[in-house]
Structure 1
Amino acid sequence: MSLTTGVRPVVFLHGVWGDPGNFSRTLSVLADAHDRTVYAPAYGNRGTNLIPASYTELRPTLEDAVADSPTGDIDIVAHSLGGLFAVRAAMDLPVAHIIGLGACFKGRSTLRRLRPLMARMVGPAMTGILGDEPYAFAPDVDVLSVVSSADFIVPAWSSDLRPELGDRCELIRIRGVRHEQLTLQTRLITRLLAATRS
């Protein structure tokens, strides 16, 4: 957490095999700026645990951020699997904006017979990501979703909430940035965060 300010807090959510260090460049810039409170929790055994268990672990941090917010709501920056937690949080808590970075908002389809293998290789979280469960979306959250032409992990359709949210979702296309490098795009992330300050 950074210095408490009069601006809505922002929570950074990592993906599978991730941790808060994935956002270290951006977190350092935000800490130096002292302009908003920042939360960057580790959760779910590096994001590999079952999704309900990881969300249960993550929820108190989200609630703390809301409680500390001068506006009564929060912004979330979510990478990959963090996108699933961000949309879940927006259903449960007051979330003003979500910035998705290759965010797996809608899960990821794969052949049913490969799902057990993927869960063993990557972790139990994959059963939720690869499942057939329909996802619900909070209609009053604004989403800025970044997709890259070089992201071969999360397909663009999973990051695109325009069909569900209409003009409340803006899809931002960038070129040549691999999935695991999206969290390193500090200038882009800070520019998008600046756009959420209102």
Structure 2
Amino acid sequence: MAAGFQESDSDKLESVIKIDTPKDITMQKQTENNLREENIELQRYISVTKDLFCICSFNGKIIKSNPTWRESLGYNDSQMIGKSIFEIIVNDDVYATKFAISEAVKSGGLDKFVNRVLSHKGIIRYYEWRVKVFENSIYASGRDISDLIMTREKLEYYHNRDTLTGMYQPVLYNLHPRRWFCPINCLLASFLLI
């Protein structure tokens, strides 16, 4: 008798296949249902954020984006998918963005990067990005910080300008300490402090 598969073993094999098949399909269906539920939960989670989420290729082509792109910038999925991210970035920021992406690819991620993005209507918004690289894709999250930037610019303006005239106001603490000994500077400083 030769070792290996015999004709009498085929009946046993069929009974094993019949017994194991429904069990394997049940496990497969259960796994599919679990994945489907996790996907739905992830979609719900992503839909409630005000941050921009996208997945890009290394050359900047957008593979996937969340609904916030439509809500914040006016771009729908058909306008975003397959488009280069560099097409919606302000021209002055494209080089810095490409450099940041190359650094993120080298190091596996980037925690903080700010650039300006054009909305569908041409309005410029400031975004702070966090980037992670997984396999052959770039996963990015962008938070709109335009209001923060505008507030900071207003504070700097009012800090450096006279509130009545709007004219530039010299900052006293930037003067070199030795210059205070000059009588004219002391007089000027006392006048500005009044």
Structure scoring higher RCO (CA < 8 A, sep ≥ 6) equals: 1
TM superposition score normalised by structure 2: 0.21
Q: Which structure has the highest helix share of the two? A: 2
Larger Rg, first or second structure (1 or 2): 2
TM superposition score normalised by structure 1: 0.21
